Copies of this chain bind each other. A is one copy, B any other.
Amino acid sequence: MPAVNSQPRRARSGNRRDEAARVAVLHAADDLLVEHGFGALTVEAIARRAGVAKQTIYRWWPSKVEILLDTLIEDTAKRLPVPTELPTASGIRAYLRDFADFLAADPAGKCLLTLLAEAQHDPGTAASFHERYLEPRRIAEIEMLTRATEAGEVSPVLGPEATMDALLGPIVYCALTGVAVPRDLVDTLAENILRPRA
């Protein structure tokens, strides 16, 4: 679905990158992943669905996982921002709940799980995934946690890195094993690991 407007033919780009082709590829990849699973996510299928030539994909993305990574980064920025300004205990708890919902329900959540999985199979994917997604988020999360601790909102029983692993780990593990995150799991974890003020 490359066309984004009512014109029968997309305005072709000439010698600049075709933005319509770019978003068509991202959408096609995401749609294929959600609708038919990772097995159907081939470069040829993406090109077919996006109405784009295969070469156009190879020109701009080194592999199909980078497409997913682009999608994930854009979607996460919109739907799951890390709260960094004046974080409170309840703000952090809300963030954890949002994260659980994101993994369980959002199409981009499937995208994250897929990338985490593919990173186990391929070192290159792992490197990209860490560098472009995990590390930046982790830095923001650590900052969130540090500020909250300094403000006396929370007093975690572990260092910031380990605290984030202790909080996110169970949520991710439940998502990976197809288990719905229990309602009280997040709250009890926050209570016992973060030790909020109230």
Across the interface, do A185 and B173 meet the contact criterion of CB distance under 8 Å? no
Assembly stoichiometry (copies): 4
Across the interface, do B121 and A178 meet the contact criterion of CB distance under 8 Å? no
| CB of A128 closer than 8 Å to a CB of B | no
Contact flag A173-B165 (CB < 8 Å), given A120-B117, A121-B114: yes
| CB of A113 closer than 8 Å to a CB of B | yes
Docked CA distance A197–B170 (Å) = 24
Across the interface, do B168 and A126 meet the contact criterion of CB distance under 8 Å? no
**Per-position contact with B for A98-141: 1 when CB-CB < 8 Å, else 0?**
00000000000000011011111111001000100010000000
Docked CA distance A108–B149 (Å) = 39
Given contacts A38-B122, A117-B120, 11 further A-B contacts (CB under 8 A): A113-B120, A119-B176, A126-B178, A157-B192, A158-B185, A165-B170, A166-B188, A168-B173, A172-B172, A172-B176, A173-B173
Across the interface, do A38 and B121 meet the contact criterion of CB distance under 8 Å? yes
Across the interface, do A120 and B165 meet the contact criterion of CB distance under 8 Å? no
| CB of A189 closer than 8 Å to a CB of B | yes
Q: How many residues of A contact B (CB 8 A)?
A: 41
Docked CA distance A120–B117 (Å) = 6
| CB of A6 closer than 8 Å to a CB of B | no
Of B114, B162, B189, the contact of A166 (CB 8 Å cutoff): B189
Residues of B within 8 A of A170 (CB): 162, 165-166, 169-170
| CB of A174 closer than 8 Å to a CB of B | yes
